[in-house]
Amino acid sequence: MKSGLKRSNAPIFWSLFGAGGMFSALFGPVLVFITGIAVPLSLMLPSGTMSYPKMLAFAQNFIGKGFILAVISLFLWFAAHRIFHSLHEIGIHAGLGAKLICYGSAFVATVVSAVVLLRLGF
């Protein structure tokens, strides 16, 4: 049966936004602290926490892969959705171009992450 109504794709993007918003709210600050402050300054955590062998092993682990992909892609899907919907607020009447830039960069980042993670092997 053909319906005259086109199914909206909004719930998909809204779900990614919600998941990414929640994930970044719960883990964003501590991840920034670990990767951007504690490890570079050798604070708190054991030395070599993010050494090549350890990070490689993490990225080759099934759970590690999932976590890395979730962080990068969900953070970006969340940000893309929020930035896209805020453009109107600053007087940019967002069209297809803005949509492609916002969601497109999240999509490309997701694909790139997945490819790198797959190529690193298991």
The residue whose two tokens read 């998909």 is 12
Residue of 72, 67, 81 lying closest to 17 (CA atoms): 81
> Rounded CA gap, 61 and 89, in Å?
42
80 Cβ contact partners less than 8 Å away, ≥ 6 residues apart: 102, 103, 105, 106
Of 1 and 34, nearer to another protein (C-beta) is 34
Of 40 and 66, nearer to another protein (C-beta) is 40
Q: Is residue 83 a contact point for another protein (CB under 8 A)?
A: yes
Closest contact distance (angstroms) between CB of 26 and another protein is 4
Which spans of this chain sit near another protein (rule: CB under 8 A)? Answer: 20-22, 24-37, 39-41, 44-46, 48-50, 52, 54-56, 58-59, 68, 71-72, 75-76, 78-80, 82-83, 86, 89, 91, 109, 112-113, 116-117, 119-120
